[in-house]
Amino acid sequence: MDEYDRRMLSEIDKTAERVMLEIEHFEFKKGLKEIMRLSSLGNRYLNSKKPWSNVESAPSTLYVASQIVYAISILLIPYLPFTAIEIRGMLNLPEDLNSVRWDSLKDGLKPGHRISKPKPLFRKVRDEDIAPEIDKLEKLRIKYEAETGPSRAH
């Protein structure tokens, strides 16, 4: 394990502490941003370590990446429980969220833990999917303004 690997593992602990603090202070949006930041750091980590081409460091890289995903599967529970269940299913972990304790973040995944084939958690939203919805909103706005007069937002 190199310094970057250790730094990323440390980032998991720091993020968990920050998320817990934000939740305790009812700053839920800030807590979720911390989780998303960890996710982005994990993506950058994987892209920079390139385990698909760097065979020598691939085991430690995949270990660290799996620990990040494991942490996210716990940190997301108060925010997106169904997404947390999906992630835990892909990690071959119990999906019963009542059995998951916040302090299990320390446990992590054990080396050699088998995971399932990952699949996308969210459907990609394409421009052509959004256009009809924007049209519907515009028609509703026009209808509303015809009934009530022009809005001051325009």
Q: What is the pLDDT of residues 74-85, one digit of tens each?
A: 999 999 999 999
Do 69 and 91 belong together in one domain? Answer: yes
The whole domain housing 154 covers 123-154
Sign of the Cα pseudo-torsion (102, 19, 96, 121, in order)? negative
Do 142 and 100 belong together in one domain? Answer: no
Q: Which of 79-88, 107-116, 121-130 has the lowest mean pLDDT?
A: 121-130
Residue 149 has pLDDT above 80, yes or no: no
Residue 154 has pLDDT above 70, yes or no: no
pTM listed for this prediction: 0.77
When divided into structural domains, the chain yields a total of 2
Q: What is the pLDDT of residue 25?
A: 96
CATH (domain of 77): 1.10.730.10
In three-state secondary structure terms, 22 is helix
Residue 7 has pLDDT above 60, yes or no: yes
Do 92 and 128 belong together in one domain? Answer: no
Q: What is the pLDDT of residue 107?
A: 86
CA distance 22 to 115: 30
CA distance 14 to 37: 12
Mean pLDDT within 24-49: 96
